[in-house]
Structure 1
């Protein structure tokens, strides 16, 4: 009896249909940490301002460093997932994120904190695309959109934890101790990734899961001979619809992630005079809405064959309308309306993202999945990296009041930017075609 047979007999996970959920759990928890870090700056914004004597522009720089590096690593992560395999990529990059947490928690000035945030962004940027690659080998195509939505929901739980629970932890132990603890958990997940993840069922001695790309009769799961990294990039970049998806995610993602990740709490404390804990509780409504919509729309898309383009058109129209509500109310909607607006922001964003991912996957053959998603995924995060310091600059242009808070006019300028962004995203989706065209082997 070989070791794989012994493992199958003794392990409660000795079945690929069970073990694949263990793989989902590990990648999902690392993705949970990625989302926690996205919203963390809005919780500790005041602490960072005091610790480093930072204005809104500098806070935007610190927060955006995560997104710059997260965006930058996506293309190489996609290529590495397609070549070296997802297991090695997730393990290595998660370890980098743990190092970033320690540096951030130990920072003595704003620039050291920025370096820590950058390493965190680079590290957690190595999980989503490899997870998509793993899912394509362990799950059937008709499970993909729903599974992607479920992964995004797990990520949203990270945002929820990064809102109120992290706020309480920071209040109790301080922001430095809190992030040091997160670094320890992240290092543990790097170890578990190495021990548990497997690139394909055959790595455990099992036959491929029926219906997955790894058993495609045409060999669609593997790249043709002679297709190197440069050819892969060329095949993706020449697709016009790929650029339309990137444009849509760039503008809508930049608006939603910038607000949720940096200004959602300061807006409530500055304009409505809320306590930080209460504002953190309100922030939880955004990822909660996201978590409700992401799996729901994903599973409905899989089961009912929804027209993904039309769903996105409706979602982006409503997202534009939300920012319009902020503007027509002078930047300060009635307080009773804020929970509805925050929850709706999350729902519209959560309902859209699985569709962007699925459309991108369907534009290309399976062996280009990692590369294509890896090139598309940075769009929203690159936008956020640009929007956060830019919106901080917009706030500083008006300037804080004598009490150190930013006035309503400063936030109105930010909301105008976000509404224009959603409208540009709507234009990109409107001219998108979902039809897959044969890829050409460019040099």
Structure 2
């Protein structure tokens, strides 16, 4: 497998997880409400913190990508998603859930821009649009996985285990980006 293909697979997998994480609360909200006693306002706030943290990180992200490159910045930020996912999975109350959700947002904030940055170095202008189109298409299917497949998985193993598995998958992608990618 070529280095370019490895980079494509790694960063596209990370983007798939980013989309998955951003969409999960819609499916697990009833379980969170039942288990944690959350009301609609708390669910809304907790869910929105992913997006608020994600958006806030865009401000420094471009500078960091230009200074240190996607190979360092993207997995560095994704580490926050691992921590946030573990915190979310092991939480005992609303505050831990919200902090966990915000950390997941921080962690996934650099995935798309990091992918675009590293693809710009590894794909010719003639192939860049194809690579980024595939990135967005395949990555967005993470939202599809966060629908019926997640509902079934949630029934089978519970939302806590789903987030622990998500943390593990994210950690694997972090390590493989650090090992297999070059800016």
**Fold match by TM threshold 0.5:** yes
Q: Deviations over 1:310-362 (max 9, x none)?
A: xxxxxxxxxxxxxxxxxxxxxxxxxxxxxxxxxxxxxxxxxxxxxxxxxxxxx
Q: Distance in 2 between matches of 1:144 and 1:69?
A: 29
Q: Distance in 1 between matches of 2:83 and 2:174?
A: 11
Please name the residue that 2:71 is paired with. Answer: 87
Q: Distance in 2 between matches of 1:162 and 1:196?
A: 27
Please name the residue that 2:15 is paired with. Answer: 31
**Aligned mate of 1:73, from 57, 70, 88:** 57
Q: Distance in 2 between matches of 1:192 and 1:84?
A: 18
Please name the residue that 2:85 is paired with. Answer: 101
Please name the residue that 1:367 is paired with. Answer: none
Partner SS state of residue 86, structure 2: helix
Q: Distance in 2 between matches of 1:156 and 1:133?
A: 18
Instruction: Note if 1:126 corresponds to 2:113.
Output: no
Q: Distance in 2 between matches of 1:41 and 1:49?
A: 11
Partner SS state of residue 24, structure 2: helix
Instruction: Note if 1:19 corresponds to 2:19.
Output: no
Compute the displacement of 1:98 (Å).
0.7
Q: Distance in 2 between matches of 1:131 and 1:104?
A: 26
Compute the displacement of 1:178 (Å).
1.4
**Aligned mate of 2:95, from 111, 116, 119:** 111
Q: Deviations over 1:147-193 (max 9, x none)?
A: 22211112122112111111111101111111111111111111111
**Aligned mate of 1:168, from 143, 152, 169:** 152
**Aligned mate of 1:52, from 16, 33, 36:** 36
Q: Distance in 1 between matches of 2:122 and 2:161?
A: 38
**Aligned mate of 2:127, from 136, 140, 143:** 143
Q: Distance in 1 between matches of 2:73 and 2:93?
A: 31
Bigger Cα Rg: 1
Partner SS state of residue 30, structure 1: helix
TM-score (norm 1): 0.40
Q: Distance in 2 between matches of 1:25 and 1:76?
A: 26
Please name the residue that 2:182 is paired with. Answer: 198
Instruction: Note if 1:155 corresponds to 2:154.
Output: no
Compute the displacement of 1:31 (Å).
0.7
Partner SS state of residue 159, structure 1: helix
RMSD: 1.2
Q: Distance in 2 between matches of 1:156 and 1:129?
A: 15
Q: Distance in 2 between matches of 1:60 and 1:147?
A: 34
Q: Counterparts in 2 of 1:31-430, with a 5 A limit?
A: 31-199=15-183
Partner SS state of residue 198, structure 1: coil
Q: Distance in 2 between matches of 1:151 and 1:112?
A: 32
Partner SS state of residue 92, structure 2: coil
Q: Which runs of 5+ in 1 are unaligned?
A: 1-12, 200-443
